[in-house]
A and B are shown apart, each in its own frame.
Chain A
Amino acid sequence: MATARPGWSRRAQYGLFFSFIAVIAGIVIGVILLVMSLVAPKAFDSVRGAALDVTGPVSTALNEVRATANGLMSGAGDYWDAARQNGELKREREAMLRRMIQAKAIMLENEQLKATLGLRERERKQIAVGRIVGSSLNSPRRFAILSVGARDGVEVGMPVRAADGLVGRVVDTGALASRVLLVSDRASIVPAKLLRDGIPVIAQGRGDGTIDVRPLEVGRNPFRRGDIIITSGTGGLYPPSVPIGRVVKLDDDGAIVIPLADPATASFAIVEPAFEPTAIAAEKAVQAADAP
């Protein structure tokens, strides 16, 4: 359908016309699919999962190459000042040992207190351990690709954490890979609290790699720079006491937080079951009923 007038050939004129019709049909089909995927986000689960299975393993393989190259570079760099690092590490280890003994004592005390209170801790399991191998490159949304999928037991709605802190939750699963909604996405809202005094706050992503936190009670701004925000476990989707981030900047009624688990550098991500299994069931019911 290049030129306006393909000449006197009837065949060429018809070809041009049908090409126009086909493109318009393409637009209509696209809009219909788009509306369907917005209204019923679960409608295309299997297709999206299959696409994840195509790209996920590729990303994983490429990621290995990148990690190896990075490792060689930093490994070579570490040799340069090994002696100084050695001394530093020894000092750190001494300090760590002291802290560990303290922590053990506190844990023991904690267990005793819990026993007297009659609290039962649910056993913390992990479903799968994977790597973050990709992310949404051009989008106002913040998604990451995780190298484990339904075959490893990953299900939609499960929280994902790294060693440093919370990463996000699973929103799409293929057999071999899954898509994670990062905590820095605008649609991610995590019930949280201040580690310092336990004031309940709400952590919502800002879409640019940072998180916005607001206290539940309106009034004085409880945040200070350097405060650590942890999950509160309210709502049952995220396990309690997982670190989310550190406050870097205050604004009028809240603060801006940098996530502790940087998905770009976290080497492993752990998929955990939803803290309260009922929360996932409830969410599935809500998602089936309407849009997210």
Chain B
Amino acid sequence: MVRAALSPSRRFTPGPQRFAAFVPAITVVLASLLAALPIVTTNGWYPNFGFLVLISWRLLRADPWPAWWAAPLGLINDLFTGYPLGFSIALWCATMLVLDLIDRRTMWRDYWTEWVLAAVLIAIDQWLQWQLAEAVGAAPPLVRMVPPLVISICAFPLTAWIVSRVDAWRLGR
């Protein structure tokens, strides 16, 4: 139909958003800011939102941001979540480096591989947090870290899905 060509169509892609290059980093900052939600928990079982979104982006694409941006993003996460300053900076930079090295080794990836990778990274994050608490003599038994770990691993597919939607939006697909 000729008339169909006149009506605005979703098949014509609008192209990338104006700030497409900054969208991934902004979503990470927003996820870190979730720590400001007025939720008062006495067990700390919520996922580390900033880290989840960070690895979701990095596993989805190899270049969501220049790798060194992980340092300022980590600083923001440290400040808002109340982790000891420097923890997220070091961990997030190391994550970027490790994932780059893994990218060189792996021949193929599928969804399950990514989930396993994410699970390993989340476990390392939780274990390091436990080590930090241990360093100041405030570590609970290691068994207590299992529920937040399981919750975070289960939350990864959700953040990965949200991130893939945001990615499609920012690139105008």
Contact = CB atoms under 8 A, between A and B. Distances in A.
Interface string A273-289: 00000000000000000
A234 interface: no
A139 B81 contact: yes
Interface residues on A, range: 35 or more
Interface in A1-32: 1-4, 19-20, 22-27, 29-32
B23 interface: no
Contacts of B86: 29-37
A36 B87 CA distance: 11
A78 interface: no
B40 A263 contact: yes
B87 to A, nearest CB: 5
Interface stretch (B1-9, B97-105, B110-118): B97-105
Contacts of B90: 26-27, 29-31, 33-34
Interface in A56-113: 56, 58-60, 62-63, 66
Given A22-B67, A55-B33, A134-B40, A139 B82 contact: yes
Contact of A30 (B38, B48, B87, B100): B87
Contacts of A37: 84-86
Interface in A123-154: 132-144
The residue among B39, B82, B144 with the most chain A CB atoms within 10 A of its own CB is: B82
Given A23-B96, A34-B87, A2 B41 contact: no
Contact of A141 (B39, B104, B133): B133
Nearest to A61: B38
A187 interface: yes
Given A19-B66, A51-B80, A138 B42 contact: no
A174 to B, nearest CB: 11
Interface of B: 33-49, 62-63, 66-68, 70-71, 74, 79-94, 96-97, 100, 103-104, 129-130, 132-133, 135-140, 144-145, 148, 152
9 contacts: A19-B66, A26-B89, A26-B92, A50-B79, A134-B36, A137-B41, A182-B42, A207-B133, A264-B40
Q: Which 4 A-B pairs rank lowest in CB-CB distance, beginning with the nearest?
A: A30-B90, A33-B86, A209-B42, A30-B89
